[in-house]
A and B are shown apart, each in its own frame.
Chain A
């Protein structure tokens, strides 16, 4: 399923979900040259917000992403179950969506929203994690795919600061 970021953001907005856009998509927003095919978000970890997220995921027909099941695994969820697991790798009718309430190297929404950039994307207000915070989380995760992009992201960060 091709990512339809405009639809994804619109549905999250319609349901009043509070979140920060993080990961590769946030890095792209800040000028990363590395393509990515999914969206990563960190929602505010409150019961009310998780309930709103659950409703949005129903609208998006979210399923659990699994290599062995191309169409994804259906799952039932509510705010409580979403909060309990903390991390969800989903496919939706608007593309792949990864949810992490507390990304590695961060304290979650309140930590990330502090330096996030408030912007409008595809006519929807969005909080985009700062490039410094994207670097912080990727460095903490330190997966091979993170190691591949970090030197370039660090240099983009330093050059932005220069400007």
Chain B
């Protein structure tokens, strides 16, 4: 199980083109320490994430905003579908959206 914090560290490291060992050297820790953070086996604090991203020459923008789960609710309904079924569903939706745009109704 990974965590949002672990995902952010992984993303930053890959964007910077660094291996876990290279980031560990910059952070003064071990490769296994980075791996544990990325995998979620060790919880990374927000300060850990910020520090590691900055070592990747990146930064983290944060803002407190209202939570909107409407898109996530749609995503939840897709969980039971296979990848191909999701793509086929997208094709149907796109067809309907085009019909609406063209004024023919869905």
Residues in B neighbouring A162, C-beta threshold 8 A: 1
Q: Once the chains bind, are A132 and B7 in contact (CB under 8 Å)? A: yes
Contact residues on B (Cβ < 8 Å of other chain), bracket: 20 to 34
Contact residues on A (Cβ < 8 Å of other chain), bracket: 35 or more
- A35 to B78 Cα, complex, angstroms: 12
Q: State whether A31 and B78 are in contact (beta carbons under 8 Å apart), knowing that A2-B94, A36-B90, A154-B4 are contacts in the complex.
A: yes
A26-43 CB mask vs B (1 if < 8 Å, else 0) is 001111111111000000
Residues in A neighbouring B71, C-beta threshold 8 A: 33-34, 149, 152
Q: Once the chains bind, are B7 and A157 in contact (CB under 8 Å)? A: yes
Report B98 CB to chain A, min CB distance, Å: 7
- A158 to B7 Cα, complex, angstroms: 8
Q: Which B54-106 residues sit within 8 Å CB-CB of chain A? A: 71-72, 74-75, 77-79, 83-84, 86-87, 90-91, 93-95, 97-98
Q: Once the chains bind, are A28 and B87 in contact (CB under 8 Å)? A: yes
Residues in A neighbouring B72, C-beta threshold 8 A: 33, 152, 155-156
Report A142 CB to chain B, min CB distance, Å: 10
Chain B CB within 10 A, most for which of A35, A105, A107, A155: A35
The segment out of B10-18, B20-28, B29-37, B44-52 that lies at the interface is B10-18
Q: Once the chains bind, are B87 and A31 in contact (CB under 8 Å)? A: no
Q: Once the chains bind, are B11 and A135 in contact (CB under 8 Å)? A: yes
Report B75 CB to chain A, min CB distance, Å: 5
Q: Once the chains bind, are B87 and A121 in contact (CB under 8 Å)? A: yes
Q: Once the chains bind, are A35 and B95 in contact (CB under 8 Å)? A: no
Chain B binding surface SS class = helix
- A36 to B97 Cα, complex, angstroms: 11
- Look across to chain B and name the residue whose beta carbon is closest to the beta carbon of A117: B83
Chain B CB within 10 A, most for which of A33, A155, A156: A33
Q: Once the chains bind, are B90 and A28 in contact (CB under 8 Å)? A: yes
Interface status of A3 (Cβ within 8 A of chain B) = yes
Interface status of A140 (Cβ within 8 A of chain B) = yes
- Look across to chain B and name the residue whose beta carbon is closest to the beta carbon of A158: B4
Report A147 CB to chain B, min CB distance, Å: 10
Q: Which residue of the partner chain, among A29, A139, A140, contacts B87 with CB atoms under 8 Å?
A: A29
Q: List 15 A-B contacts (CB under 8 A).
A: A2-B98, A25-B90, A28-B87, A29-B86, A33-B72, A33-B78, A34-B71, A107-B17, A111-B14, A121-B87, A133-B14, A152-B71, A154-B4, A156-B75, A162-B1
A residues near B (Cβ < 8 Å) are: 2-3, 5, 25, 28-37, 105-107, 111, 117, 119, 121-122, 128, 132-133, 135-136, 139-140, 149, 152, 154-158, 161-162
